Chains A and B, each alone.
Chain A
């Protein structure tokens, strides 16, 4: 008798309905982000009027903290979740628009230095995380995911690698939880350390771009220090993101050679599929700005559009971070991630410090 399997018919969601489903969450992102902006303006004015000594807290931090409070105290209701998840879309659109504030010459100059540092960071991080994974006897594919997540670009790299090496869902959610939790901690520790060490905007921006794993958190950690540091953190992080295809391809070939993943057919197509397209958009806008396609006012308008997009992103970073969900993922992968991240943060700080001495930043 033939086996008859009844597969439930999946009704495709209409594009219009899909669009409607994101609206509540996007409105929540906008409300939280805008509340952060209002708090920045009003709290410092209120403190000044009442002669209080109160540090000037940027909208970035207010938006993240408000999001964290909502997510961890009352939770994000189901109706908002699809829209809140669009924060990655706003991040990438914001990075593309930020390209207007970079001249191509600056990108080549800074990108050249950061490319060398990124290469050192990636090789060092992959080697160290692999060593730690073996030391803590983690599953090899879980070690690979943690290594790629901390060396290249956080969640996107983990998702890209998971598909390529056929890792378990459980391993990838462990790795994503560890990277997100550590990214959230970096938001609060990196600016404090930067100020304690009196790092210049350039040195700090480089460090945030190299040391913080997820693009949203790296952008926020940079912006928390200063506008210039935020710009540089985005540039360095984008350089790291551009490497994702090569690292994932190398791991896919490695696991395929062990017979534990599909062989990669067309390597060029694989690289193109994994390449973050927003890096190309960023470069295109930067080329247009360099050759005066936009006048000064238009560059200002594009920069402000980029800020609005980042405002939604920072609100999303807070809203999607739920510490109790992360705790459920277990301690060992988190411990490996934490030890690795602290070591990588220290290692990249030494790299940046060395580069700042050599180049006189």
Chain B
């Protein structure tokens, strides 16, 4: 196995899944709402 492939594999271990990104973004938005940065979200 080439070093590049090995490095790619090691790198991908630390890549966040789509699921995890969605959770991170949603929690950040919740935090922004909680701290008052995002106050009123119209619908």
Contact = CB atoms under 8 A, between A and B. Distances in A.
Contacts of B6: none
Interface string B21-41: 111011101100110001111
A88 B22 CA distance: 9
B10 interface: no
Nearest to B26: A96
A285 B30 contact: yes
- Report whether over half of chain A's contact residues are helix, strand or loop; otherwise say mixed: helix
Interface string A81-98: 000000011111110110
Contact of B17 (A277, A281, A305): A277
Interface in A305-334: 305, 307-308
A96 B19 CA distance: 10
Nearest to A307: B43
Interface in A246-305: 276-278, 280-281, 284-285, 288, 293-294, 297-298, 300-302, 304-305
A92 B21 CA distance: 9
Contacts of B25: 89, 93
B35 to A, nearest CB: 10
Contacts of B33: 294, 298, 301-302, 305
Nearest to B40: A301
Contacts of A301: 33, 38-41
B23 A304 contact: no
A313 to B, nearest CB: 11
A281 B40 contact: no
B23 A278 contact: yes
Contact of A281 (B18, B22, B38, B41): B22
**How many of chain A's residues touch chain B, expressed as a range?**
20 to 34
B27 A294 contact: no
- Report whether over half of chain B's contact residues are helix, strand or loop; otherwise say mixed: helix
B29 A97 contact: yes
A302 B20 CA distance: 19
Given A96-B27, A97-B26, A276 B40 contact: no
A276 B34 contact: no
A305 B26 CA distance: 9
Nearest to B38: A301
Nearest to A294: B34
Contacts of A344: none
Contacts of B17: 277
Contacts of A90: 22
A281 B23 contact: yes
A330 B5 CA distance: 37
Interface string A156-181: 00000000000000000000000000
A96 B27 CA distance: 8
Nearest to A295: B34
A293 B34 contact: yes
Given A301-B39, A301-B41, A304-B42, A276 B26 contact: no
6 contacts: A89-B25, A96-B26, A276-B19, A297-B40, A305-B33, A305-B41
Interface of A: 88-94, 96-97, 100, 276-278, 280-281, 284-285, 288, 293-294, 297-298, 300-302, 304-305, 307-308
